[in-house]
Amino acid sequence: MFDLIIKGGTLPDGRSTDIGIKADKITAIEDLSTAEARETIDASGDLVSPPFVDPHFHMDATLSYGTPRINASGTLLEGIGLWGELKEVMTQDEVKARALEYCDWAASLGLLAIRSHVDTCDDRLLGVEALLDVRETVKDYIDLQLVAFPQDGLYRDPTAHENTLRALDMGVDVVGGIPHFERTMADGARSVTALCELAAERGLMVDLHCDETDDPHSRHIETLAYETQRLGLQGRVAGSHLTSMHSMDNYYVSKLLPLMAEAEVAAIPNPLINITLQGRHDTYPKRRGLTRVKEMQAMGIDVGWGQDCVMDPWYSMGTGDMLDVAFMGLHVAQMTSPEEMHRCFDMVTNVNARILGLQDYGLRVGATASLVVLDAGNPIEALRLRPDRLCVVAKGRVISRQSRNDARLNLPGRPDSVRRRHSAHS
Ligand SMILES: [Zn+2]
């Protein structure tokens, strides 16, 4: 007797099968047509995927768009200034309310694991306290991993170092940083070394905002990979953004990528934000500002798409849908072959789970029973349609349902409803 059976869905690899769930675990992936269950969900012909995973978000800033004003220039630097103004007026209850509203959106979209940076440049550590509370509140349906992020610079802000240590002592999971925002390249490199040493001492992972600039000479990723190797942190370190690599000299990149691969440093581009914030100082031609995704993947480097922002000082758009993120990434990185489109879907599920170090993730016997049923036939169609999530299961429990939302046509001689599904790919 199963608690829940998902019947007849199509897995991302194309297999059509049933999934049996007991308590919070997947206990069978096979034909279960004669098995009994307390609850059965018919997913025949629909895509059944492991949950979406976001490796880069700012939950302390989300849904604050317009408070206290909007970002007029659209640049990263004005966004950081604006966030500083918001920090002056925000309260812990207000941060929690915004974060929990976002988590509702995420749950309804099947986004069940999120790595969020949390600003530690605040002597009150108000955002840290709020998000630690939110992490506990949502733990039955969303795995929230927090990164101690000295937004104003580890050395540039006089109390950032001390406050970052305090945040880690309070239970924040991952060491963050922003070397390209320090006052000098030397200070940036010094911050990378200090943060990696801190992670090594405490046995933590590292995820730095790294080289989020169009300046081809911003090369902190080199120091990050070097320190990762020196300190034995392989497989525990990620560089977020890496947009400067878009503009770097090709010879230099040919030397950099093998170092990243040896150090097993992962990359987290955030295509919605990178295409919006980068290139703002260019006339024409205007750079895309996305890092070298396919080139890194060809070297065996893990690259996962991140969301970064939804309606905050840096970005006025966003829904929390990782399929929007992958859709933009697919376009900007020109990942248009069938194999590359499949890879884009993998980047917002399995690759991101690996970057976060999630144990028990995936559609396999013994894994945590978390999954999402999409109104699409396969991963490529899911990217094209970014469709309704018909059902979301988190740790064995159905947490969200949505009815199929076909349009009703009123056209003589044509069908009376339309779904826009069309399986050209598998
Ligand atoms: Zn960020």
Task: Place domain 52-356 in its CATH homologous superfamily.
Answer: Metal-dependent hydrolases (3.20.20.140)
Q: Which of 338, 349, 355 is nearest to 301 (CA)?
A: 355
The tens digit of pLDDT for each residue in 97-118 reads: 999 999 999 999 999 999 999 9
Amino acid occupying residue 358 = L
Distance 253 CA to ligand 1 centre (A): 23
The topology under which CATH files domain 2-50+362-404 is Urease, subunit C; domain 1 (2.30.40)
Which pLDDT band, with edges at 50, 70 and 90, does 424 fall under?
A: low
Neighbours of 171 (CB within 10 A): 11
Average pLDDT for 265-287: 97
C-alpha of residue 117 to centroid of ligand 1, in Å:
7
Among 94, 101, 182, 212, the one annotated catalytic:
212
pLDDT value of position 357: 98
pLDDT of 282 reads 96
Q: How far is the CA of 374 from the centre of ligand 1 (A)?
A: 28
**pLDDT (mean) for 200-221:** 98
Distance of CA 370 from the midpoint of ligand 1 (Å): 26
Concerning whether 212 is annotated as a catalytic residue, the answer is yes
pLDDT digits (tens, 9 = 90+) for 25-68: 999 999 999 999 999 999 999 999 999 999 999 999 999 999 98
Task: Tell me the β-bridge partners of 266.
Answer: 238
For residue 285, whether the previous peptide bond is cis, meaning omega lies within 30 degrees of 0, is yes
**Domains of the chain: which residue ranges?**
2-50+362-404, 52-356
The Cα 199–Cα 100 span in angstroms is 29
Span 138-163, mean pLDDT?
97
Pairing of strands 25-30, 16-22: antiparallel
The model's pTM is: 0.97
